[in-house]
A and B are shown apart, each in its own frame.
Chain A
Amino acid sequence: MLAMGLAKRIIPCLDVAKGRVVKGIKFVNLRDAGDPVEVAQRYDQQGADELAFLDIQASVESRALLYDMVEAVADQVFIPLTVGGGVTHVDDIRALLTAGADKVSINTAGVNNPALIGEAARRYGAQCIVGAIDAKQAEPGRWQVYTHGGRTATGLDAVEWARRLVALGVGEILLTSMDRDGARSGFDLGLTRAIVDAVDVPVIASGGVGALRDLVDGILEGGADAVLAASIFHYGEFTIAEAKAAMAAAGIEIRPTP
Chain B
Amino acid sequence: MPDIAVVDYGMGNLRSVAKALAHVAPGGTIEVTADAEVIRRSPRVVLPGQSAMPDCMRCLNESGLRDVVLEALRDRPFLGICLGLQMLFDDSEEGPTQCLGALPGGVVRFREAAMFDAEGGRLKVPHMGWSPVRQRRAHPLWHGIADETRFYFAHSYYPVPALPELTVATADYPTAFTCAIASANIFAVQFHPEKSHLAGLQLLSNFVTWDGRA
Binding between chains A and B: yes
User: Is A225 a contact partner of B13 (Cβ separation < 8 A)?
Assistant: no
User: Is B55 a contact partner of A128 (Cβ separation < 8 A)?
Assistant: no
B162 lies within 8 A of chain A by Cβ: no
Contact (A101, B13) CB under 8 Å given A6-B129, A78-B20, A200-B112: yes
Contact (A5, B15) CB under 8 Å given A127-B155, A225-B129: no
User: Is A78 a contact partner of B126 (Cβ separation < 8 A)?
Assistant: no
User: Is B51 a contact partner of A74 (Cβ separation < 8 A)?
Assistant: no
Stretch at the interface among A92-100, A145-153, A230-238: A92-100
Q: What size tier do the contact residues of chain A reach?
A: 35 or more
User: Is A71 a contact partner of B15 (Cβ separation < 8 A)?
Assistant: yes
| Assembly CA distance A108 to B50 (angstroms) | 25
Stretch at the interface among B60-68, B72-80, B177-185, B195-203: B195-203
| Assembly CA distance A71 to B150 (angstroms) | 25
A131 lies within 8 A of chain B by Cβ: no
With a CB–CB cut-off of 8 A, which chain A residues contact B213?
A: none
Q: Which of A78, A97, A102 contacts B154 (CB 8 A)?
A: A102
User: Is A98 a contact partner of B129 (Cβ separation < 8 A)?
Assistant: no
Contact (A49, B13) CB under 8 Å given A79-B152, A80-B154, A125-B51: no
With a CB–CB cut-off of 8 A, which chain B residues contact A3?
A: 132
User: Is A78 a contact partner of B52 (Cβ separation < 8 A)?
Assistant: no
Stretch at the interface among B33-41, B99-107, B116-124: B116-124
Contact (A7, B13) CB under 8 Å given A78-B20, A127-B155: no
Residues of A within 8 A of B (CB): 3-9, 44, 47, 49, 71, 74-75, 78-80, 97-103, 121-128, 171-172, 200-202, 225-226, 255-256, 258
Not counting A47-B197, A79-B152, A125-B52, a sample of 18 additional A-B residue pairs whose C-beta atoms are within 8 angstroms of each other reads A6-B127, A6-B128, A6-B129, A6-B173, A78-B195, A78-B196, A98-B15, A100-B13, A122-B55, A124-B50, A124-B52, A128-B50, A172-B126, A172-B128, A201-B124, A202-B124, A202-B126, A202-B129
A-B contact pairs, 18 of them (CB 8 A): A6-B130, A9-B130, A49-B129, A74-B15, A78-B20, A78-B195, A78-B201, A80-B154, A99-B15, A103-B154, A125-B51, A126-B52, A126-B126, A127-B50, A171-B128, A171-B156, A200-B125, A255-B130
